[in-house]
Copies of this chain bind each other. A is one copy, B any other.
């Protein structure tokens, strides 16, 4: 199983409402794109200094399933519309679990 992890930090100009709608758009990916066996997304809980602001962890049966998700038109649309315009930085890893 492949675990896909992305941590997002948003531009300072991005307000709470915008962040929430981005997280909501990401949260719709399982129903709009699918292919994952597990999917969690949410805001940092504010427990530690210097953290990123949003995390996404999604599990896929294999690399091919992850590639279909990553290249899916709707996924690319959500990234273009709800993520890239507001992004300060993004860190990701895909690893076998």
List residues of chain A with CB under 8 Å of any chain B CB.
2-3, 5, 7, 9, 40, 42-45, 47-48, 50-55, 57, 63, 66-67, 70, 91-97
> How many copies of this chain sit in the oligomeric assembly?
2
Contacts of A67 in B (CB 8 A): 47
Contacts of A53 in B (CB 8 A): 93
Do B51 and A92 touch across chains, with their CB atoms under 8 A apart?
A: yes
Contacts of A91 in B (CB 8 A): 7, 9, 51-52, 91
Q: What is the predominant secondary structure among interface residues of chain A facing chain B?
A: strand
Do A92 and B45 touch across chains, with their CB atoms under 8 A apart?
A: no
* Chain B, residue nearest A93 (CB): B55
Among A5, A52, A63, A93, residue most surrounded by chain B Cβ atoms (within 10 Å): A93
CB of A66, distance to nearest CB on chain B (Å):
7
Q: Give the complex CA separation of A54 and B92 in angstroms.
A: 9
Do B3 and A97 touch across chains, with their CB atoms under 8 A apart?
A: no
